């Protein structure tokens, strides 16, 4: 479906991402969502803002992806309510619940009306993202019982795990209903790492917000920093120098490499092959050390700012990276061969945690995990911004949707990222790496949309006066993919949960905000 | 199998060999082992809690186990329960939603116990600070023995922090 197919007034936004924005009424809101859904489009994000200062009351937004790009709809939420879209896009359910917790606007007929991000830190009748909520006020903890869905029957029992987990991972609670070792149902409860990120942005300027954007999800700092910068650049209608954009892509691909290498090692380890972890973690460490030597930070935090990047790459640095890519390429190819040949490893990978393509499309699985279940979406290939429009990115996909497929997609994406890094290093244009941005106009909007290693990172920005942020919503692909883990583990045994969970490797911090 | 063995041989030993003298890493390794032998009988058990981190510090804690740093080679290992941990590594500003879980984890550890606050957020609250949703620094919630700044702190800084924690405990025990 293309943008011309809508019977709506939509205006294109300036900037690197192909985005159209339009205000809609309640009827058009649901109609457009239904149209997009029926034509195979997806919901990227649902969020809201308090525009009472602008006499617009509360509004709810949706970002939908179609073949032409991204459509951003805004609907007035009269009487603090709006027509929900969780019946059209099941993935909207938790976003609607979070919107209720944070802004106090609710869908008319929600399929699930439980709180999501609010546990005990603020009372049910207070809403952090309302402008009259003071973000520094500490409310007394409220007691709260969260009604998990229970499974009953002979021999069924529950295992409660978390929020403090056995390994070094982020906190969340998992409620398993099991019979023997077999998982009948998994219900996660997230929100433990909610630290008021969106409220913090509202006290910041476009400049100062970049640092926070890079800390929404530490493993995706480049993706978030780029999406944030892209949104700011879109709001002020400026394009950074070309060299800066090429360097950003180099950083993004290096972030993809670091995370995929780490995951490939950890997946080997979770299936009992410690050799894999030792080998891949060395490759990752080598990459991180070069990041520190050439860009000043192991994970590349704060390397991207609105207007460009902060550190340039000289010729010797480029040559060093090129030489290291050759070593990495060879090592990965040897390890890929070993993984493929290892019967014990493949026995654990194949068939574990399967998400069939039909389920993936129905529930909106996206990003890396989506591509492993035949959901062929990759912004770098479909909506290529500079420099990806010059690189002919080859999307990696698989149909099986199991742990093995997610491993294969990671290997393919490592190989592709190595190819892209080489092309970027060869084609890096000369020139400046930063251009100062003008002050943002009041009440402007902007969008950033970047294919991070986990999936698409989306940032929607509304500016206020004096270059300040009035509202910023960062959206992590984990919102889409957490519900699919619940399906992926059904019928598997509890001891395979860590392996299946790792094969998705979703973010808690990026989701809880 | 032969491919695995060939790859292991090709990789060689990556663990950074402590130089002969005046090198912080070697000092660290040796002092760690001495201290651990004296106080913890050769094994220091660490429990990690992410109390609201962005996941950056976790990446560096993971790196401690890679062959370059090889923390386990020094007799220090991560354990799955606070019940048999000597040291608690806490990352992140403590989110309000993790406050109780962190207190309970701390309470579940046997005495003597040490707490190391990791990263700028753990030390000061960092970019997240104190708010309706965040308690800020770890010491606002549980007693902290050592604070290791950095965003995130490098694996070597983390190793140093762990060592300092053990030295500190010795001093306190007198």
Q: Is A23 on the interface with B (CB under 8 A)?
A: no
The arithmetic mean of pLDDT across residues A314-320, rounded, is: 96
pLDDT at B101 over 50: yes
For residue A102, give Cα distances in angstroms to A135, A213, A328: 12, 19, 45
Mean pLDDT of chain B: 83
The rounded percent of chain A whose pLDDT value lies above 90 is 92
Which residues of A fall within a CB distance of 8 Å from B4? 275, 338
**Please, which pLDDT band fits residue B41 given cuts at 50, 70 and 90?**
low
* pLDDT tens digits, A146-190: 999 989 889 999 999 989 988 889 999 999 999 999 999 999 999
CA distance B110 to A432: 57
CA distance A384 to A393: 8
Contact A160, A175 (CB under 8 A): yes
| Among A487, A428, A394, residue whose Cα is nearest residue A91 | A487
Which residues of A fall within a CB distance of 8 Å from B132? 121-122, 128, 133-139, 196, 199
The arithmetic mean of pLDDT across residues A64-84, rounded, is: 93
Res A22: pLDDT: 94
Least trusted range by pLDDT, from A115-119, A194-198, A330-334, B111-115: B111-115
* pLDDT tens digits, B55-93: 999 999 999 999 999 888 878 889 999 999 999 999 999
**Please, which pLDDT band fits residue A129 given cuts at 50, 70 and 90?**
very high
Res A144: pLDDT: 76
CA distance A345 to A390: 38
Res A246: pLDDT: 98
- Quick one: tokens of B106? 């701390």
Res B30: pLDDT: 46
Residue A224, SS3 per DSSP: helix
The arithmetic mean of pLDDT across residues B128-157, rounded, is: 94
CA distance A286 to A282: 6
Give the gap in angstroms from C-alpha A212 to the nearest C-alpha of chain B: 7
pLDDT at B27 over 50: no
The arithmetic mean of pLDDT across residues A98-124, rounded, is: 94
Q: Looking at the domain B43-173, which fold is it?
A: Rossmann fold (3.40.50)
Q: Is B134 on the interface with A (CB under 8 A)?
A: yes
Domains of chain A: 3-107 (3.30.460.80), 156-189 (no CATH), 240-435 (1.10.645.10)
Domain extents in chain B: 43-173
Res B44: pLDDT: 87
**Please, which pLDDT band fits residue B29 given cuts at 50, 70 and 90?**
very low
Which chain A residue has the Cα nearest residue B120? A215
| Among B33, B92, B32, B25, residue whose Cα is nearest residue B58 | B92
Q: Is the dihedral of CA B50, B53, B55, B56 positive or negative?
A: negative
The arithmetic mean of pLDDT across residues A272-298, rounded, is: 96
Res B37: pLDDT: 54
CA distance A145 to A140: 16
Res B24: pLDDT: 33
The arithmetic mean of pLDDT across residues B155-174, rounded, is: 68
Alpha helices, H only, A237-387:
242-270, 274-295, 315-341, 343-349, 357-363, 367-371, 379-382
pLDDT at B96 over 60: yes
Question: E strands within A153-232?
Answer: 156-161, 173-179, 182-189
Which one of B49, B54, B77, B81 makes the best mutation probe of the A interface by having the most chain A beta carbons within 10 Å?
Answer: B54
The arithmetic mean of pLDDT across residues A324-333, rounded, is: 97
Cis amide prior to B152 (ω within 30 degrees): yes
* pLDDT tens digits, B10-22: 988 888 743 233 3
Residue A321, SS3 per DSSP: helix
Contact B98, A192 (CB under 8 A): yes
pLDDT at B118 over 60: yes
Give the other-Cβ count within 10 Å of B109's Cβ.
Answer: 20
pLDDT at B98 over 60: yes
C-alpha of A420 from chain center? 21
pLDDT at B31 over 90: no
Question: E strands within B56-161?
Answer: 76-78, 87-91, 114-118, 146-148
* pLDDT tens digits, A233-278: 999 999 999 999 999 999 999 999 999 999 999 999 999 999 999 9
ipTM above 0.90, yes or no: yes
Q: What DSSP state is assigned to residue A342?
A: -
Q: Is A171 on the interface with B (CB under 8 A)?
A: yes
Which chain B residue has the Cα nearest residue A213? B127
Which residues of A fall within a CB distance of 8 Å from B105? 164
CA distance A263 to A501: 11
| Among B9, B14, B5, residue whose Cα is nearest residue B67 | B14
The arithmetic mean of pLDDT across residues B106-111, rounded, is: 93
More confident residue, A144 or A403: A403
Res B174: pLDDT: 33
Res A233: pLDDT: 97
* pLDDT tens digits, A46-68: 999 999 998 889 999 999 999 88
Which residues of B fall within a CB distance of 8 Å from A166? 80-81
pLDDT at B122 over 50: yes
The arithmetic mean of pLDDT across residues A475-492, rounded, is: 95
């Amino acid at each position: 479906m293309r943008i011309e197919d809508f019977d709506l007034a939509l205006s294109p936004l300036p900037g690197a991402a192909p985005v159209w924005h339009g205000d809609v009424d309640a009827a058009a809101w649901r109609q457009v969502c239904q149209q997009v859904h029926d034509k195979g489009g997806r919901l990227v994000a649902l969020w809201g803002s308090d525009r009472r200062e602008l006499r617009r009351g509360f509004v709810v937004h949706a970002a939908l992806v179609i073949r032409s790009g991204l459509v951003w709809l805004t609907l007035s939420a009269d009487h603090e309510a709006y027509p929900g879209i969780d019946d059209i896009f099941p993935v909207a359910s938790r976003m609607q619940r979070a919107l209720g917790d944070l802004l106090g606007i609710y869908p008319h007929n929600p399929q699930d009306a439980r709180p999501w991000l609010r546990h005990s830190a603020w009372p049910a009748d207070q809403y952090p993202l309302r402008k009259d909520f003071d973000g520094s006020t500490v409310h007394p903890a409220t007691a709260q019982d969260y009604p998990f869905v229970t499974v009953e029957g002979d021999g069924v029992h529950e295992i409660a795990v978390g929020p403090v987990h056995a390994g070094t991972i982020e906190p969340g609670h998992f409620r398993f209903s099991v019979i023997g070792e077999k998982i009948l149902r998994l219900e996660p409860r997230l929100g433990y790492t909610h630290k008021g990120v969106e409220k913090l942005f509202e006290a910041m300027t476009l400049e100062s917000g970049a640092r926070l954007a890079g800390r929404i999800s530490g493993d995706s700092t480049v993706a978030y920093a780029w999406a944030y910068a892209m949104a700011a650049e879109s709001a002020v209608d400026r394009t950074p120098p070309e060299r800066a954009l090429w360097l950003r892509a180099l950083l993004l691909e290096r972030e993809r490499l670091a995370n995929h290498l780490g995951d490939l090692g950890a997946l080997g380890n979770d299936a009992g092959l410690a050799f894999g972890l030792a080998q891949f973690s060395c490759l990752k460490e080598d990459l991180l050390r070069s990041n520190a030597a050439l860009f000043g930070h192991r994970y590349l935090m704060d390397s991207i700012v609105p207007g460009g990047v902060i550190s340039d790459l000289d010729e010797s640095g480029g040559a060093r990276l090129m030489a290291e890519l050759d070593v990495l390429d060879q090592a990965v190819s040897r390890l890929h061969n070993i993984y493929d040949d290892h019967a014990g490893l493949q026995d654990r990978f194949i068939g574990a945690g399967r998400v069939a393509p039909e389920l993936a499309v129905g529930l909106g699985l996206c990003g890396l995990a989506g591509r492993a279940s035949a959901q062929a979406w990759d912004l770098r290939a479909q909506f290529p911004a500079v420099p990806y429009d010059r690189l002919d990115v080859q999307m990696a996909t698989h149909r099986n949707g199991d742990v093995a497929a997610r491993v294969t997609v990671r290997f393919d994406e490592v190989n592709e990222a190595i190819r892209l890094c080489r092309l970027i290093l060869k084609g890096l244009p000369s020139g400046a790496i930063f251009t100062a941005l003008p002050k943002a106009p009041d009440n402007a909007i902007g969008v950033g949309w970047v294919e991070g290693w986990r999936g698409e990172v989306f940032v929607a920005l509304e500016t206020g006066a004096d270059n300040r942020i009035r509202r910023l919503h960062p959206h992590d692909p984990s919102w889409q993919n957490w519900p699919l883990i619940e399906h992926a583990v059904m019928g598997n045994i509890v001891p395979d949960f860590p392996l299946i969970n790792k094969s998705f490797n979703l973010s808690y911090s990026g989701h809880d905000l | 199998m032969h491919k695995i063995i060939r790859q292991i041989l090709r990789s060689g030993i990556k663990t950074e060999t402590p130089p002969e003298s005046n090198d912080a890493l070697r000092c660290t390794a040796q002092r760690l082992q001495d201290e651990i032998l004296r106080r913890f009988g050769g094994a220091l058990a660490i429990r990690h809690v992410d109390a609201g981190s962005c996941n950056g510090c976790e990446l560096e804690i993971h790196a401690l186990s890679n062959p370059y740093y090889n923390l386990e080679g020094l007799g220090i290992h991560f354990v799955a329960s606070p019940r048999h941990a000597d040291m608690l590594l806490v990352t992140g500003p403590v989110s309000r939603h993790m406050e109780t879980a962190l207190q309970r984890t701390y309470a579940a550890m046997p005495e003597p116990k040490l707490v190391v606050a990791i990263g700028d957020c753990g030390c000061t609250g960092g970019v997240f600070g104190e708010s309706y949703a965040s308690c800020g620094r770890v010491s606002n919630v549980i007693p902290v023995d050592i604070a290791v700044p950095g965003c995130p702190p490098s694996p070597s800084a983390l190793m140093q922090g762990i060592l300092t924690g053990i030295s500190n405990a010795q001093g306190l025990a007198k």
